[in-house]
Amino acid sequence: MVSTTPAKMEYRYLGSSGIKVSVFSFGNWLNSNKQEDYEITRDAIKICFENGVNFFDTAEVYGNGNAESQMGKAFKELGYRREDLVVSTKIFKCGAGVNDSFLSRKHIVEGLRNSLKRLEMDYVDVVFCHRPDFETPLEETVRAMSYVIDQGMAFYWGTSEWPADRISKAIELCTRLNLHKPIVEQPQYSMLWRSSFEKDYRRIFGEYRYGSTIWSPLAGGLLTGKYNSGVAPEGSRYDVHKYLDPIWSKWMAEDKKEGTVTKLRALGDLAKELGFTQAQLGLAWAIANRDVSTCILGFSRIEQVTENLKAIELYQQWNADIEKKVRDILGNDPEVDMDWRKWSPMPFRRDEAQKL
């Protein structure tokens, strides 16, 4: 099958590497448990690929390995060239054994081998350490990640939800030991969740050209517009998946609901004014920050795929006026550090990364 690359899709380098990824990508965390999830995964991959998406993300912990199996099966069924795909998985936990989790050399090597079997692939393009492991020596972890690259099991490695100082330490350790350095972080980033990305990571983005594959760009669905009343509609994610209650409470607890709903409704009005959906506004805002290498999308319904990918059209129209309108609505710019040479606050990292 010949790959298609619509002109409207944008591609960015993944951190300091030479590999390019589409600004929107697909991750199948939401589609990893039921048999019908396979059809959503397969059909979502097909639509994404036909619209220029080339980056696909999964993890060993998603569905306890089932997500990797579904993604691998879908690629086989669709018949895409491996060279046209950039595939990542994440190592942290899969199984109940005492050594089936965290970031020991044993679990990294065995875990990735098992992931490749489920994916039916010889290698992944990127393997992530899914969460930091503060009990395993960092040197053991970075040596193991460098080893799997040397063995041809992956081309690059990265981190996910690691503190910035841990990432810096890993990079410096790899440099000193002549190992393959991590190139990319997979953090949460959205209009409602900004501080860690824009404030804490600014130096690893600036100094190391570290990449990012962001997740939850719609804040678990809160930015889609369906929750603008402050109530979770029947059958919605926050109604069905009760384990998400802590996320709901973070923004929709009684003492926070009024402020959140006011912002959500204003965002909805702005999106309508621009001729797009509220979800498309949230996604375009995320990729307007060029510290974002790719924005991972997840879908509970196949109809959402095309709708969300249309956010690229709003992104291509993004300008300082839209940015200011969103900023005024959100009112949540992260606190900036001081530039002591000038004795004044540093510029917002988001402003530096946009270059509007």
Catalytic residues: 62
Cα-only R_g, the chain: 20
CB atoms within 10 A of CB 349: 23
159: closest CA among 150, 191, 151, 174?
174
> Residues 6 or more apart from 241 whose CB is under 8 A from it?
none
> What's the rounded Cα separation, in Å, for the pair 335 and 346?
10
> How many angstroms from the chain centroid is the CA of residue 21?
12
Looking at the chain, list the stretches that DSSP marks H as alpha helix, in order from N- to C-terminal side.
36-50, 66-78, 105-119, 138-150, 164-177, 195, 202-208, 237-240, 245-252, 257-274, 278-288, 303-309, 311-315, 320-330, 349-354
> What's the rounded Cα separation, in Å, for the pair 140 and 247?
34
Which residue bears the tokens 């409207």?
Answer: 8
Distance set, CA 315 to CA 9, 188, 323 (Å): 10, 19, 11
> What's the rounded Cα separation, in Å, for the pair 323 and 288?
9
> What's the rounded Cα separation, in Å, for the pair 129 and 154?
13
> What's the rounded Cα separation, in Å, for the pair 198 and 205?
9
Looking at 120-201, list the stretches that DSSP marks H as alpha helix, in order from N- to C-terminal side.
138-150, 164-177, 195
> What's the rounded Cα separation, in Å, for the pair 341 and 57?
42
> What's the rounded Cα separation, in Å, for the pair 286 and 215?
10
